[in-house]
Amino acid sequence: MRTPQSVSVARLVVVLAVALSGCGSPPDSSTNSPPAPGTAPQQANQPRTKLVAWAPNFGPISQDAPPGQRWYQQVQDQQCTNLLGLVGEADSGAVDLDKSLYGGLANACKGSWDKARAALNKIDPEDLVDQDGHPDCLMRTTFDTLKRLVDAHESEPDVIVRISGRAAPTCQPPPGTLAGPGDHAS
């Protein structure tokens, strides 16, 4: 036997169920759509970000290597300001290719996109070779990282590019590039 109270409770349950279900209307797709691949979810009033993998970590780099290799230590450590300082030193022993490559990456890391793009435009990937003409792993890895960052920015200029994790290595540095026992990588 139903009492007036049990009927009221039943009606309340039905009203709540309808209210919680959104009255059967479809969800608002503008707030529930997933972010684009490689883009972080947007928080209220926050600019969207795009996540880009940083250069792989090969371990300590010998500081006796040429600038195009030894500067990779700064890349691994994400020391962009230090790297810009090294690139700007007149007596670094670096050639223009080294300066464009590492300066471009340091500028991309700091969000100076015009300088990063200008540097990238000066680099021919075929020139990223060691003294024997073999592909230089560290320089190619630096180039790939620079290109990933610049491409991410240019594909969505209104999105903030953020470094997220490291890319997988696609090569191995040449013998003598990595710091051995007693060698001081800095």
Q: What does the buried/exposed string (b/e) look like for 111-149 if buried means 16 or more CB atoms within 10 Å of the residue's CB?
A: ebbebbbebbeebeeeebebeeeeebbbbbbbbbbbbbb
Mean pLDDT of the chain: 78
pTM score of the predicted model: 0.71
DSSP 24: G
* pLDDT tens-place values along the chain, 186 residues long: 555 554 444 444 433 333 333 333 333 333 333 445 555 555 667 788 999 999 999 888 888 888 878 899 999 999 999 999 999 987 888 899 999 999 999 999 999 999 999 999 999 999 998 888 889 899 999 999 999 999 999 999 999 999 888 999 888 887 777 765 544 444
